[in-house]
A and B are shown apart, each in its own frame.
Chain A
Amino acid sequence: MTTAAVTADGRPVKAKPATMAQALGRALRDSMAEDPTVHVLGEDVGTLGGVFRITDGLAEEFGDDRCTDTPLAEAGILGAAVGMAMYGLRPVVEMQFDAFAYPAFEQLMSHVAKMRNRTGGAMPLPITVRVPYGGGIGGVEHHSDSSEAYYMATPGLHVVTPATVDDAYGLLRESIASDDPVVFLEPKRLYWSKADWSPEAPAAVEPIGRAVVRRPGRSATLITYGPSLPVCMEAAEAALAEGWDLEVVDLRSLVPFDDETVAASVRRTGRAVVVHESPGFGGPGGEIAARITERCFHHLEAPVLRVAGFDIPYPPPMLERHHLPGVDRVLDAVARLQWEADS
């Protein structure tokens, strides 16, 4: 729910096209400028500015101690961040690519997620783990995984993923300010998506934990997040030609999960399709479909369907377009929503 950007004295700010990557970089910069305990660390985040240039200029502006090029070791990076947070800093860790975060799993699962709990609330860890995730950029193997299900299944972590330029800025700022650890999943194929955006007075965004209706509709609800939001928006436009008026819900946060917004939407429309590009089996869609069924069973006109990536290791770039759920696959699912029973 964005509001028009205004300056401090109330004048509207003239927004210019900005990319999600720029907004993320600006969120890091603003957080660091505001709070001296915010430190960025990771492989290549300093001089190079990150392989996606998200951290560009931070080392120059804040120095190597605040934006640190580390040795190449993800467990070490996150493990060191744990110690830094224990001493009162707010580390923001960059994992460079989704599959490169796996060596840090033990630190994430055993320590980052559990430290607040293990210490009876005495030692929260305000760590943000930035993970560029998902496919669609033609990356070679191990550069395109959708790892959100692993993080979702780990109590103690927040799992956040923006789909818009405004959310990229707003949600990252909130994640850094959060006293809980946040796995911040950046849909890397949206890094270069643009929107009119005002770094001087960024739009207000809904907080972490709230889903947002991106497009109201009456016929069915598409529930999605991150990289699949543009796909669903496009599908909703295309569906008009078939006479379907689709509502699109952007989850924004997988943990905490906004049952209320999702259930309210499905109760209105009576039909739901969950869309994500990570594999469907054991994936987020199963959990979401179950939650909808538990809450909205008597409102449902059709089973909750899932449109997901295939249950395969992420395919080579030349085949990824067949794997990733596109507009047609979403529309096919919508077509299977037992419309005839409705008439």
Chain B
Amino acid sequence: MTVQELPGAAAYRPTPPPAWKPITDPAPLLPDPEPYRVLGTDAVADVDPELLLRLHAELVRGRRYNAQATALTKQGRLAVYPSSTGQEACEIAAALVLEERDWLFPSYRDTLAAVARGLDPVEALTLLRGDRHTGYDPREHRIAPLCTPLATQLPHAVGLAHAARLKGDDVVALAMVGDGGTSEGDFHEALNFAAVWKAPVVFFVQNNGFAISVPLAKQTAAPSLAHKAVGYGMPGRLVDGNDAAAVHQVLSEAVARARRGEGPTLVEAVTYRMEAHTNADDATRYRVDSEVEAWKAHDPVRLLERELTERGLLDDTGIEQAKEAAERMAAALRDRMNADPELAPMDLFTHVYAEQTSQLREQATALRAELDAEQDHDEHGPEAGR
């Protein structure tokens, strides 16, 4: 081939561009005006009792996990923990609707979803205890690293789902984001890309009322966050985020839709963050007790327990058993977190590039010398090595 025959040198005849078809009736894309509910409604009759019991056990465990992790921050074992107490139904459903081959893209608050998906609780906390940022192999668990910047993991979910589909793999990505994250540009770009590419993605917004201290009314003027979907040409679904059965059902439908090749869905779960943003935050500065009390009456664990006991599927013994299992998990977590992680200073340089640059090799040599001097000092006193 000569230069004159380089690709594109020949006259290029463009194929006609694809026609853009306007959606003349956006109604099917619009969310219902009220969040969808299952518990306490006739719809619950269609839910497999086994699923309800499993959700219950996981919710109780999740609640206990959140309490234990929060306690660990008070003991100085965790640098920070953004609790999802009150949001367990969202966390658990997100984990349970996915197949093993699917991918979860959690935000920093979604540790519990990662654990419910099967991640080792200690590995899930490496970031938050100040150890290396991601304590697990994302490919092994199909859980992207817990994402600290807001909404930036959403385009990753789109790209991964798109790539999987190009490879012919039947994989769905579920990407989690909070209400504040929906104001970020990456949220917009991710939804737009996903809709245009018809990527098998589900966007799952946990609207927990506040972005640190900023309430939803100062975050958006949209009728609901789920309404944002229609602008991208994808369906928006609004669900009661404290109703585990409802969240599971809506997310399952969205995942199934994605798997069928029908494209992305935006699901907004209306829930409430019972704790502060993190242990570093004082929630009494921006919200009133009466609001928190009102949400306690709509607690996801209590809602499910009431449903199960009323239907005779769960009794006090069953509730006690679930609590005991959760206690055992918490005790094991406590024990394991009591050990200080062993960090190797030289690891600072290990995973910056595939092969260290000469600059990093020089810096590693300098740090090695510092460490050797420290060790010398510790072993042989201040005069050593002089």
Interface residues of A (CB under 8 A from B): 16-18, 22, 25-26, 29, 39, 47, 49, 53, 56-58, 60-61, 65, 70-71, 73, 75-76, 78-89, 91, 103, 106-107, 110-111, 114-124, 155-156, 158, 178-180, 197, 199-200, 209, 255-260
Closest to A83 in B: B159
Given A57-B8, A70-B193, A197-B3, A155 and B164 contact (CB-CB distance below 8 Å): no
Chain A residues contacting B140 (CB-CB under 8 Å) are 122
Selected from A39, A53, A256, the residue in CB contact (under 8 A) with B8 is A53
Chain B residues contacting A103 (CB-CB under 8 Å) are 185
Selected from A22, A75, A91, the residue in CB contact (under 8 A) with B186 is A75
Chain A residues contacting B307 (CB-CB under 8 Å) are none
Q: Cβ of A256 and Cβ of B158 under 8 Å apart? A: no
Given A119-B137, A121-B350, A156-B353, A260 and B358 contact (CB-CB distance below 8 Å): yes
- Check: B21 CB closer than 8 A to any chain A CB: no
Bound CA–CA A260/B185 (angstroms)? 43
Count contacts between A and B, CB distance < 8 Å: 184
Q: Cβ of B352 and Cβ of A155 under 8 Å apart? A: yes
Closest to B195 in A: A71
Selected from A49, A71, A114, A123, the residue in CB contact (under 8 A) with B192 is A71
Chain B residues contacting A47 (CB-CB under 8 Å) are 14-15, 17
- Check: B68 CB closer than 8 A to any chain A CB: no
Selected from B6, B132, B164, B189, the residue in CB contact (under 8 A) with A79 is B189
Q: Cβ of A199 and Cβ of B137 under 8 Å apart? A: no
Q: Cβ of A86 and Cβ of B156 under 8 Å apart? A: yes
Given A16-B2, A82-B159, A122-B138, A116 and B351 contact (CB-CB distance below 8 Å): yes
Selected from A65, A79, A123, the residue in CB contact (under 8 A) with B158 is A79
Given A76-B192, A107-B152, A119-B138, A25 and B145 contact (CB-CB distance below 8 Å): no
Chain B residues contacting A88 (CB-CB under 8 Å) are 163, 167
Selected from A17, A60, A260, the residue in CB contact (under 8 A) with B12 is A60
Selected from B4, B132, B158, the residue in CB contact (under 8 A) with A83 is B158
Chain B contributes a number of interface residues (CB within 8 A of A) equal to 55
Interface residues of B (CB under 8 A from A): 1-4, 6-10, 12, 14-15, 17, 132-140, 144-145, 149, 152, 154-164, 166-167, 173, 185-186, 189-190, 192-193, 196, 350-354, 357-359
Closest to B18 in A: A64
CB distance from A316 to the nearest CB of B (A): 29
Q: Can you name 20 A-B pairs with beta carbons within 8 Å?
A: A16-B3, A17-B3, A22-B3, A25-B6, A25-B8, A26-B7, A49-B8, A57-B6, A60-B7, A71-B193, A73-B193, A76-B190, A79-B155, A86-B159, A87-B160, A87-B164, A111-B156, A120-B134, A122-B140, A209-B357
Q: Cβ of A86 and Cβ of B144 under 8 Å apart? A: yes
Closest to A26 in B: B6
Selected from B2, B134, B357, the residue in CB contact (under 8 A) with A119 is B134
Q: Cβ of A256 and Cβ of B350 under 8 Å apart? A: no
Q: Cβ of A107 and Cβ of B359 under 8 Å apart? A: no
Given A47-B17, A73-B189, A87-B164, A79 and B357 contact (CB-CB distance below 8 Å): no
Q: Which of B3, B152, B158, B173 has the most CB of A within 10 A?
A: B3
Chain A residues contacting B350 (CB-CB under 8 Å) are 121
Q: Cβ of B3 and Cβ of A120 under 8 Å apart? A: no
Bound CA–CA A49/B3 (angstroms)? 17
Chain A residues contacting B144 (CB-CB under 8 Å) are 86
Q: Cβ of B154 and Cβ of A79 under 8 Å apart? A: yes
Given A49-B8, A121-B351, A209-B357, A80 and B193 contact (CB-CB distance below 8 Å): yes
Bound CA–CA A106/B154 (angstroms)? 13
Chain A residues contacting B158 (CB-CB under 8 Å) are 76, 79-80, 83
Q: Cβ of B156 and Cβ of A120 under 8 Å apart? A: no
CB distance from B163 to the nearest CB of A (A): 4
Bound CA–CA A83/B155 (angstroms)? 7
Chain B residues contacting A57 (CB-CB under 8 Å) are 6-10, 12
Q: Cβ of A199 and Cβ of B353 under 8 Å apart? A: no
Closest to A253 in B: B357
Q: Cβ of A56 and Cβ of B193 under 8 Å apart? A: no
Closest to B126 in A: A120
Q: Cβ of A86 and Cβ of B138 under 8 Å apart? A: yes
Q: Cβ of B193 and Cβ of A117 under 8 Å apart? A: no
Q: Cβ of A122 and Cβ of B3 under 8 Å apart? A: no
Chain A residues contacting B157 (CB-CB under 8 Å) are 83
Bound CA–CA A117/B351 (angstroms)? 5
Chain B residues contacting A119 (CB-CB under 8 Å) are 133-134, 137-138, 145, 351
A-B contact sample (13 more), CB < 8 A, given A26-B7, A53-B8: A16-B3, A22-B6, A25-B8, A29-B7, A56-B12, A57-B12, A58-B8, A76-B155, A86-B144, A86-B156, A121-B350, A123-B139, A199-B2
Bound CA–CA A123/B185 (angstroms)? 25
Q: Which of B156, B160, B352 has the most CB of A within 10 A?
A: B156
Selected from B152, B159, B190, B353, the residue in CB contact (under 8 A) with A81 is B159
Closest to A88 in B: B163
Bound CA–CA A121/B145 (angstroms)? 12
Bound CA–CA A58/B163 (angstroms)? 18
Chain B residues contacting A155 (CB-CB under 8 Å) are 352
Q: Cβ of A58 and Cβ of B7 under 8 Å apart? A: yes
CB distance from A70 to the nearest CB of B (A): 7
Chain B residues contacting A91 (CB-CB under 8 Å) are 159
Chain B residues contacting A70 (CB-CB under 8 Å) are 193
Q: Cβ of B189 and Cβ of A76 under 8 Å apart? A: yes
Selected from A26, A65, A117, A257, the residue in CB contact (under 8 A) with B352 is A117
Q: Which of A53, A81, A260 has the most CB of B within 10 A?
A: A81
Q: Cβ of A79 and Cβ of B1 under 8 Å apart? A: no
Chain A residues contacting B163 (CB-CB under 8 Å) are 83-84, 86-89
Selected from A117, A118, A199, the residue in CB contact (under 8 A) with B6 is A199
Chain A residues contacting B7 (CB-CB under 8 Å) are 25-26, 29, 56-58, 60-61
Q: Cβ of A80 and Cβ of B155 under 8 Å apart? A: yes
Q: Cβ of B358 and Cβ of A79 under 8 Å apart? A: no
Bound CA–CA A255/B358 (angstroms)? 10
Bound CA–CA A258/B4 (angstroms)? 36
Bound CA–CA A158/B159 (angstroms)? 22
Chain A residues contacting B189 (CB-CB under 8 Å) are 71, 73, 75-76, 79
CB distance from B143 to the nearest CB of A (A): 11
Q: Cβ of B359 and Cβ of A256 under 8 Å apart? A: yes
Chain A residues contacting B351 (CB-CB under 8 Å) are 116-117, 119-121
